[in-house]
Chain A
Amino acid sequence: MRKDLIGRITEEEIEDIVVNIKKEITDPIEWAYKHGIHKFKVDVQNEDGYPLKLVGTFSFRSGNFSFALLLRNRRIRGLDCGRKVHHNPECEKIKGVHKHKWTDAYQDKEAYIPSEVDCSSIVGALRAFIEECNIKLKATIRKPLIPDSLDKYW
């Protein structure tokens, strides 16, 4: 696949990647801590050779965390948990948990309120996100380790 042309992929093909393409994660999901943020990044193997990866970030201090399914550098699906507020291109404001979905018109700026997302457990929310992206998980997930020196502000 010509990676330089990934940018031409349409919303319709992206939907196909999420729904129909067989995908799996075989590398363990382990969080690293740097610059005040916990982060993991794993490749998502797939039969069609799309450059897919799953990224997760977590800030213990703000309590916010996010997951993103990236097609090279485009977020084709995303989940934000925490106190964040989102402003949609059509002006609607979403407070708290929301999901991002790639559209041809607005790229990843379009978000919506998911019907059932439990953000009370980061690992639970991650498992649900992986399942929703139709990715088979063949690896372990670790919880982010919180350094002793970190204080939560509230």
Chain B
Amino acid sequence: MSCTQAIEEALMNLPKEFECEKLDEKTWLVTTPFEYPDGDLIQLYIIKMDNLFEVTDLAETLRFFETLDFDLLSSKRRRKLFEDILRSYKIEFFKGELKVKVKTEELLKAILDLSQAIFRVSDLYFLQRIGVTTTFKEEVEEVLKEANLNYEIDYSIFGKSGKEYKVDFYIDVEKPNLLEAISTYSKMYAERLIDRVVRMWYDIKRLDGRFEYVTIVDDRSDVWKKEHFDLLEDLSKVYVWSEVEDYIVEIS
């Protein structure tokens, strides 16, 4: 059996979710069903070397971390976990590459082991402190849920100009509420946000008076000016996040 036949036989025995592509006479690219945290699929290169095969990621795993400016090896804890994973799968880390050298008969196992090792290594990304990832809209939704209110998210409605708007929440109470939740930590973006919301309320209100219009402002940042509240209050009922209970009491 030729070397090419031997390797192609090994690749044929991989689960069908693995895809293989021959790049040249001595190199194959295997795309695994395993994903990096960003949804890119883990890929391995099989390189023929004399009597052995090298199965390697060509440093693509480390490159995944570096692209997100995440220094995998800078923390002692992460480095230890990284080394533990490599040890348990007998994987070598050399010049940034995760790799293993094997004989033909060990190729299948090597591909599966390296895929799993990389999958586990890439999960170390979740150990970083990413901070708060809940948006303000999601926080407002939690409050509505806790109050057992019936609501719809991203409610579509047209203004008199013919423009279609997506209001954050439609709340099904006696006089239905349209609620927009606004939050930012940038003074400049606050200006644009107010312009957008004022324009939206004005355009909807002059066509449709069925609703109570409500704006909830995230007051945990100090970007809001008195004039912002004046503008919003002319067109909607305004509540600040720190007093959101007042709004719940009013509509419940």
Contacts and interface: CB of A to CB of B under 8 A. Distances in A.
Interface residues of B, number: 49
A6 B40 contact: no
A48 B29 contact: no
Contacts of A111: 39
B99 to A, nearest CB: 11
Contact of A62 (B58, B131, B134): B58
Contacts of B188: 21, 47-48
B219 to A, nearest CB: 13
Interface string A57-68: 101011010101
B71 to A, nearest CB: 11
A85 B31 contact: yes
A129 interface: no
Q: Which of A21, A64, A68, A85 has the most CB of B within 10 A?
A: A85
Interface residues of A, number: 55
B58 A73 contact: no
A132 to B, nearest CB: 17
A6 B131 contact: yes
B4 interface: no
Nearest to A84: B40
Contacts of B45: 62, 153
Given A8-B136, A13-B193, 14 more contacts: A2-B185, A8-B185, A10-B183, A13-B189, A36-B96, A37-B96, A48-B187, A55-B66, A55-B68, A55-B69, A73-B69, A84-B40, A100-B38, A154-B24
